[in-house]
Amino acid sequence: MSCGGLALTERTLGSYQLLRPLAQGGMAEIYLARPLGPGLPDRRVAVKVLSSGRAADPEARAMFLDEARLVALLDHHNIAAVLDVDVVDGNHYLAMEYVHGADLRELLAAAQRGNTPVPFEAALAIVAAAAAGLDHAHRRCGPDGAPLKLVHRDVSLSNIMVGYDGAVKVVDFGIATTTITSVPPAPGVVRGKASYMSPEQCLGNEVDHRSDIFGLGVVLYELTTGTRCFHGKSDFDRMLAVVKSDYLAPSDLVASYPAALERVICTALAPSPDRRFASAAAMIDALERVARDHGWDAGAGAIARLMYELFGEPTEPAVLQLDDAPVTEPHALLTLAGAPTRPARRLARDTAPDRFDDDERTRGRGALRRPGQRRWLAA
C-alpha cells in the first residue's frame, strides 16, 4: 500500500494506527492517527512522517530529528506538543498533538468569504496567545541549563493554529535555530516565508528572538486589516518591501483603527531589532493594555466565538481508510508538513489571490537573490 509517498505494508507505523492522510508537503506527510496498545486513550494525534524522497538526505533527516528534540523540550499550552519520535523500517516520524481547528490562513479566508472582519479583541487574543508560546520557547533552557536561544524563524499565518474551543497553538519548528541544532544555518542561506521574515532574516544576517516578534507583528497586521502587510509579485519583491519597511499604515486601510494598536504594530515591525519589543512578553503586555483600555474581552472566549461564527458547530474529524481516496480536512492541522497542501493552495487562490496565498518557505542561497526562489502558486 502506498499513501502520500509513504509505502506501508500495514496500516500502522510504530505504535500508531494511521487513520487517514491530512496533508502532504515537500518535507513530510501528516496523518490522522491514534495510539495502539492496551490501556492507551483513544485520542487523535497527528503523525508527521519524513517524506520518502527526503529520507535519504542526511541534512533533511537531521533537521527532522532536530525539530522533534527541540519541541520535546518545550512545555507550553500554546505550542503543539511532540508526544513521540521514532524510526521504524527507515521511516522517520514524530507524533504530535492534534489541533482540531484551522490555521490563521484558513481563518482569514473564511472571514473574507463571509465578509466578516476579524474582531480586534479576537485578533489580539490570538496573537497574545501565540506570543506566550513563543516567549516560553525563547526563554527555554536545554537539559544542561544553558539557554537554547531558540528562534522559530517561520512565524506566519499558516504556523499558528486555532482550535474550535479557542485554543491557540504555534506549530512547525522545522527551521528553528537553537544552540542544540545539529545543522547550523549556513551563512547567506535564507529560510522562511518572504512576507513574514524580518529585515535581518531577509538579508541573511544573524537573527535572534526579535525576528519572531517581527513575524507576530505581520500576523497582527493581517488579522486586523484583512490585507497583506508586504506585497510583491515575487519573493524577491516581498523581501525588498520588508527590508525597506514598505507597508501601508493600518489606519490607512481601516477606518477608526485604534491608534494604540497601530503603535504596537509599528513597534513590532520596526526595521531595527533594537527598536522592537525586547521580548514577546513585552509585546503581550502592550496588547493587554490596548485591550484593557478599550474594554475588549481578549481571551479564549472571543476566539471561540469567532471560530463558531466562521465555521459553525465543529464536528469530529472524519476517519477514512488509508486506501480510500486521500482527502484533506479543511479545518484541521494541515501545516506541519512544512508546506501548504494543494487543496489549501486552491482555497487561498480562489478566495484571496493577492493576500493570503501564503508564500513557500524561501530557501535561496544569498539574501534577496532571485535564483532558487519559488511560490506555492506556481503549481
User: pTM of the prediction?
Assistant: 0.83
- Residue 203 inside a domain? The answer is yes
Its domain, for residue 216, covers: 101-312+354-378
pLDDT tens by residue, 98-110: 999 999 999 999 9
End residue of a domain, out of 39, 73, 99: 99
Cα 67 to Cα 167, 233, 303, 360: the distances in Å are: 22, 31, 28, 19
Q: Model confidence at 315, in pLDDT bands (50, 70, 90)?
A: confident
Q: Within this chain, do residues 78 and 111 fall inside the same structural domain, yes or no?
A: no
Q: Within this chain, do residues 84 and 200 fall inside the same structural domain, yes or no?
A: no
At 178 the three-state DSSP class reads coil
Number of domains in the chain: 2
Length of the chain measured in residues:
379
Is there a contact between 13 and 49 (Cβ–Cβ < 8 Å)? yes
Mean pLDDT across the stretch 15-24? Answer: 87
End residue of a domain, out of 68, 99, 130: 99
Segment among 201-205, 207-211, 217-221 with least mean pLDDT: 201-205
Which cell is 78 given? Answer: 500554546
Q: Within this chain, do residues 141 and 37 fall inside the same structural domain, yes or no?
A: no
Identify any residues that bridge with 88 across adjacent strands, giving them in sequence order.
91
Q: What CATH number has the domain bearing residue 172?
A: 1.10.510.10
Q: Within this chain, do residues 234 and 273 fall inside the same structural domain, yes or no?
A: yes
pLDDT tens by residue, 20-78: 898 777 778 889 999 987 766 778 999 999 887 777 778 888 888 888 888 889 999 99
Segment among 31-35, 170-174, 296-300, 323-327 with least mean pLDDT: 323-327
- Predicted confidence at residue 247, as pLDDT, reads 97
Q: Within this chain, do residues 144 and 290 fall inside the same structural domain, yes or no?
A: yes
Q: Within this chain, do residues 152 and 202 fall inside the same structural domain, yes or no?
A: yes
Is there a contact between 132 and 172 (Cβ–Cβ < 8 Å)? no
Break the chain down into helix, strand, coil percent, rounded to 5: 35, 15, 45
- Residue 299 inside a domain? The answer is yes
Q: Model confidence at 338, in pLDDT bands (50, 70, 90)?
A: very low
Is there a contact between 15 and 91 (Cβ–Cβ < 8 Å)? no
Q: Within this chain, do residues 10 and 75 fall inside the same structural domain, yes or no?
A: yes
- Predicted confidence at residue 4, as pLDDT, reads 47
- Predicted confidence at residue 372, as pLDDT, reads 33
Mean per-residue pLDDT over the chain, rounded: 82
Q: Within this chain, do residues 72 and 133 fall inside the same structural domain, yes or no?
A: no
Is there a contact between 377 and 349 (Cβ–Cβ < 8 Å)? yes
Which amino acid is residue 122, in one-letter code? Answer: A
Q: What CATH number has the domain bearing residue 69?
A: 3.30.200.20
- Residue 348 inside a domain? The answer is no
Q: Report residue 302: phi and psi, to 5°.
A: -65, -35
The residues, ordered by sequence, that sit 6+ positions from 168 with a Cβ below 8 Å of its Cβ are 78, 125, 126, 129, 130, 133, 160, 161, 162, 303
Q: Model confidence at 250, in pLDDT bands (50, 70, 90)?
A: very high
279 class by beta-carbon count within 10 Å (0-12 exposed, 13-18 middle, 19+ buried): middle
* Neighbour-count burial for 32-45, b at 16+ CB within 10 Å, e otherwise: bbbbeeeeeeeebb
- Predicted confidence at residue 191, as pLDDT, reads 79
Q: Within this chain, do residues 52 and 167 fall inside the same structural domain, yes or no?
A: no
- Predicted confidence at residue 361, as pLDDT, reads 53
- Predicted confidence at residue 277, as pLDDT, reads 98
Rounded-to-integer distance, Cα 43 and Cα 64, Å: 24
- Residue 320 inside a domain? The answer is no
In degrees, rounded to 5, the angle at the alpha carbon of residue 356 between the alpha carbons of residues 170 and 372 is: 85
- Judge whether 154 counts as a catalytic residue: yes
- Residue 137 inside a domain? The answer is yes
- Residue 54 inside a domain? The answer is yes
Q: Model confidence at 379, in pLDDT bands (50, 70, 90)?
A: very low
Identify any residues that bridge with 365 across adjacent strands, giving them in sequence order.
189
Check whether 230 has a pLDDT greater than 90.
yes
pLDDT tens by residue, 120-173: 999 999 999 999 999 999 999 988 899 999 999 999 999 999 999 999 999 989
End residue of a domain, out of 99, 134, 164: 99
Mean pLDDT across the stretch 83-95? Answer: 88
Q: Model confidence at 300, in pLDDT bands (50, 70, 90)?
A: very high
- Residue 335 inside a domain? The answer is no
Element spanning 369, H or E: none
Nearest by Cα to 54 from 92, 11, 18? 92
Q: Model confidence at 202, in pLDDT bands (50, 70, 90)?
A: very high
Is there a contact between 190 and 367 (Cβ–Cβ < 8 Å)? yes
Identify the residue with better confidence: 379 or 275. 275
Q: Within this chain, do residues 281 and 178 fall inside the same structural domain, yes or no?
A: yes
* Neighbour-count burial for 298-331, b at 16+ CB within 10 Å, e otherwise: bbbebbbebbeebbeeeeebeeeebeeebebbeb
Write down the catalytic residue from 66, 135, 154, 359: 154
Helices (H) and strands (E) in the chain, counts: 11, 13
- Residue 341 inside a domain? The answer is no
Q: Within this chain, do residues 113 and 232 fall inside the same structural domain, yes or no?
A: yes
- Predicted confidence at residue 186, as pLDDT, reads 62
pLDDT tens by residue, 280-289: 999 999 999 9
Task: Residue 240: count other Cβ atoms within 10 Å of its Cβ.
Answer: 16
Which cell is 232 given? Answer: 510583491
Q: Within this chain, do residues 210 and 74 fall inside the same structural domain, yes or no?
A: no
Check whether 343 has a pLDDT greater than 70.
no
